[in-house]
A and B are shown apart, each in its own frame.
Chain A
Amino acid sequence: MKPVLVPTTDVNSETGLLLAWHVGDRSEVQAGETIAEIETSKAIIEVPAPEGGFLLYAAREGAEVRLTEPVARLFADVGALEAYAEEEHRRRAEAAASGPRATAPARRRAEELGVDLASIGGDSLITVGMVEAAAAAATTATIELPDPLPGVAALPRIALIGAGLGATQVIDILQAAESGTAVAIVDDDASRWAGEVMGVPVVGGFERLVTLFGKGAFDAAIIAISTSVPARARLRAALGANGIPLANAIDPTARIAADVTFGTGNVVCALCHFGVGTVVGDNNFLSAFNSYDHHNRLGSDISTGPACTTSGLVVLGDRVRLGTGIYMEPHVELGDDVQVASGSVIVASVPAGHAVKRRTVTTVVVPRR
């Protein structure tokens, strides 16, 4: 097969108009014979056959053709031409049947989740979000969602948000502290629905939480997602909008000094220390061995790793994210949305929206001699 290109050096045109074919489709042509006329923005160009053979049109008369692409193809014999034409026809049919417009990430996600893109209606571009929503809807339709546990008399019934490992920590703290009993978990990942975490059923997504609260199935919620500060902040706002109160989960091994005040929705893991006069906001997830010395002020929606230690009079803004093993000098103030890398020693205040980086100390692993 030999492609027939338009012989032009015209730099002004990317396309031309196919004015006329001088020979029939699938006819035999001689080398050098004029087979077509193409009009560009500059001129009318005659297209000669580059060699003899059987000609297959690649464009119809009156069509705009790209000058970099063949207008026809030449074959040594009719058999080769027919085979090519048949293959081309099959390819076209396949392309036409390839279905709706979707982004590449959406196609990959649809394959992972087993979603048929054609089932997502409308003529809009299909996105990952739409595929996931369709998968969730399909799951909802087929899964029988479990009911929350009845709870234990005299203990507040707690619903957890997030069925990941954070939920295991919160359930363990509630059991140890006997300050509440987890009766249900919700998670927007539908693949977790109808499962359970430490005996607590995953009863559906956020919408189910709202429904269950309306039915009086639980008393307060705790956000059990430890690492994502944006998710914690967003979910706290969503709970507020639906009038659902938050509860604290404070491990009994935590040492809480005099005159310490807590907001709501805080998760405090084992062996934490809160010095005299410290004020803690709402919805913070504080990992084990955190020590906030006297008269600290903590904002809301904070998430920390284990072993973060502050001196007196330290201030943490809202949505602060601390790594593991961090020390802070007295009077240090971290603004809202500050992120601090593991192992940092903070000696000066950090303005809002900034990150504290630290040169990584790599542990070198060598084989034993």
Chain B
Amino acid sequence: MIAARAMGDALRAALEEDCRVILLGEDLVDPYGGAFKVTRGLSTDFPGRVRSTPVSEGAIVGLSAGLALSGYRPIAEIMFGDFLTLCFDQIVNHIAKYEAMYNGKVTCPVIVRTPSGGGRGYGPTHSQSLEKHFLGVPHLRVVAGSLVHDPAAILRALLAQDSPVLLIEHKLLYPLHLMLPAGGRIEGDIAEVHISADGLPTVSIRPVPREDCWFTVLAYGYQAELARRVLSRLAVEEEIFGELVVPSQISPLDWEPIDASVSVTRSLLVIEEGVEGFTWGSEAAARISSCFFGELRRPVATAASAPTVIPTSKMLEAGMLMTSERVEQAIRQAAA
């Protein structure tokens, strides 16, 4: 099943299972069904609980905050991740603070979903991966969809807890098939699932036993899929063996499965699509370098997009974003 439909089914299940769930966002209502069609059909089947809003991200998320404080479970859709800047104040200054500010007397369990990422030629303000600006915000979870994670299971885990969540969905993943672990395997590779105390999974994928892998790659979202394809090909064609670790929650991170891999491979590469500098990878590099000082065989490597504006021309865009070629280049360097 393709990821867009799986996410739609997950939202449908949430609406069915929990009457407090409300979906808000621009153009969600049928027949349009949302810009990426994730919510298609839901407004017809759940009238009044799936609502199109005016074009104001601040209002969508502010309204969600109010609903959450009143006991609802709002799930807001921001049409493009680039527009998260318009709700930064609501999320950082209000939603993430309420529970701690009022000493646990209230909770504000808002889930903000948004499609992110480039590769479609959508230009400077519809292609970015801005999630790095939300990493490390106290009391906020940042979760990212990947093909190896079941959106229904993740949404269920997020609805079962009370922290606010920013859920990042890379738009290039929507038309791709999920690749869920089955019987400990994903397409012949060994797939190990680690579930955090909060019920959020990290999937570790390796072509051969971990002892035979000589580097670890940490990635999420579309970059995780690019890395999976490159690693799978390098394993079969050249016997270059690396383990891919794909967390569903990217902040705060569940370090246990990452440590488990790095303690054996003693080498780490972190890949992300956001622009380089002060990144998710920098945080992982700092943490792993500190915990494994003296044990690593090489410095932690990071790969991210070039620190500039994303051009509309697909050719120029491919020149600065993390493409399959650049992922392969980074992996080959890490494997050298």
New contact pairs (17) apart from A13-B175, A124-B190, A124-B208, CB-CB < 8 Å: A12-B175, A15-B2, A15-B176, A15-B177, A41-B37, A41-B174, A42-B37, A103-B238, A103-B239, A104-B236, A104-B237, A104-B238, A105-B239, A125-B207, A125-B208, A125-B236, A128-B239
Complex A-B: 25 CB contacts under 8 Å: A11-B120, A12-B36, A12-B120, A12-B171, A12-B174, A15-B2, A41-B4, A41-B36, A41-B37, A41-B174, A42-B37, A64-B2, A64-B177, A101-B188, A103-B237, A103-B238, A103-B239, A104-B237, A105-B238, A123-B188, A124-B208, A125-B208, A125-B236, A127-B208, A127-B239
A40: B residues at CB distance < 8 A: 175
Q: How far is the CA of A124 from the CA of B212 in the complex (A)?
A: 12
Interface-centre pick from B36, B120, B177, B208 (highest chain A CB count, 10 A): B208
B188: A residues at CB distance < 8 A: 101, 123, 125
How near does chain A come to B200, taking the closest CB pair, in angstroms?
26
B62 is an interface residue with CB less than 8 A from chain A: no
A77 is an interface residue with CB less than 8 A from chain B: no
Residue total for B at the interface (Cβ-Cβ under 8 A): 24
A41: B residues at CB distance < 8 A: 2, 4, 36-37, 174-175
How near does chain B come to A277, taking the closest CB pair, in angstroms?
35
Please determine whether A125 and B235 come into contact, CB atoms closer than 8 angstroms: yes
Specify the chain B residue showing the minimal Cβ separation from A106.
B239
A124: B residues at CB distance < 8 A: 190, 208-209
How near does chain A come to B9, taking the closest CB pair, in angstroms?
14
A14 is an interface residue with CB less than 8 A from chain B: yes
Q: 0/1 per residue, A28-46, Cβ < 8 Å to B? A: 0000000000001110000
A11: B residues at CB distance < 8 A: 120-121
Q: How far is the CA of A125 from the CA of B187 in the complex (A)?
A: 11
Report which of B175, B189, B239 forms a contact with A15, defined as CB distance below 8 A: B175
Interface-centre pick from B174, B235, B237, B239 (highest chain A CB count, 10 A): B239
Specify the chain A residue showing the minimal Cβ separation from B184.
A123
B4: A residues at CB distance < 8 A: 41
A104: B residues at CB distance < 8 A: 236-238
Report which of A12, A64, A103 forms a contact with B236, defined as CB distance below 8 A: A103
Chain B residues 178-193 with CB under 8 Å of chain A are 185, 188-190
Q: 0/1 per residue, B206-247, Cβ < 8 Å to A? A: 011100100000000000000000000001111100000000
Chain A residues 195-231 with CB under 8 Å of chain B are none
Specify the chain A residue showing the minimal Cβ separation from B3.
A41
Closest 4 interchain pairs by CB? A13-B175, A14-B175, A104-B237, A125-B207
Q: How far is the CA of A11 from the CA of B235 in the complex (A)?
A: 31
List residues of A whose CB falls within 8 A of some B CB.
11-15, 40-42, 64, 101, 103-106, 123-125, 127-128
Chain B residues 130-183 with CB under 8 Å of chain A are 171, 174-177
Q: How far is the CA of A123 from the CA of B185 in the complex (A)?
A: 10
A101: B residues at CB distance < 8 A: 188, 236
B36: A residues at CB distance < 8 A: 12, 41
Interface-centre pick from A11, A12, A40 (highest chain B CB count, 10 A): A12
A15: B residues at CB distance < 8 A: 2, 175-177
Q: How far is the CA of A103 from the CA of B237 in the complex (A)?
A: 6
Q: How far is the CA of A44 from the CA of B55 in the complex (A)?
A: 27
Interface-centre pick from B2, B4, B209 (highest chain A CB count, 10 A): B2
A64: B residues at CB distance < 8 A: 2, 177
Q: How far is the CA of A173 from the CA of B177 in the complex (A)?
A: 66
How near does chain A come to B2, taking the closest CB pair, in angstroms?
6
How near does chain B come to A283, taking the closest CB pair, in angstroms?
24
Q: How far is the CA of A103 from the CA of B235 in the complex (A)?
A: 7
How near does chain B come to A259, taking the closest CB pair, in angstroms?
38
Specify the chain A residue showing the minimal Cβ separation from B207.
A125
B185: A residues at CB distance < 8 A: 123
B208: A residues at CB distance < 8 A: 124-125, 127
Q: How far is the CA of A127 from the CA of B240 in the complex (A)?
A: 10
B209: A residues at CB distance < 8 A: 124
How near does chain A come to B151, taking the closest CB pair, in angstroms?
15
B207: A residues at CB distance < 8 A: 125
A14: B residues at CB distance < 8 A: 175-176
Q: How far is the CA of A269 from the CA of B70 in the complex (A)?
A: 87
Q: How far is the CA of A124 from the CA of B121 in the complex (A)?
A: 40
Q: How far is the CA of A15 from the CA of B5 in the complex (A)?
A: 12
A123: B residues at CB distance < 8 A: 185, 188
Specify the chain B residue showing the minimal Cβ separation from A14.
B175
Q: 0/1 per residue, B100-130, Cβ < 8 Å to A? A: 0000000000000000000011000000000
Specify the chain A residue showing the minimal Cβ separation from B37.
A41
Specify the chain B residue showing the minimal Cβ separation from A67.
B175
Specify the chain A residue showing the minimal Cβ separation from B122.
A11
How near does chain B come to A248, taking the closest CB pair, in angstroms?
34
Q: How far is the CA of A307 from the CA of B288 in the complex (A)?
A: 46
A12: B residues at CB distance < 8 A: 36, 120, 171, 174-175
Interface-centre pick from A15, A42, A101, A125 (highest chain B CB count, 10 A): A125
Q: How far is the CA of A101 from the CA of B171 in the complex (A)?
A: 32
B171: A residues at CB distance < 8 A: 12
Specify the chain A residue showing the minimal Cβ separation from B119.
A11
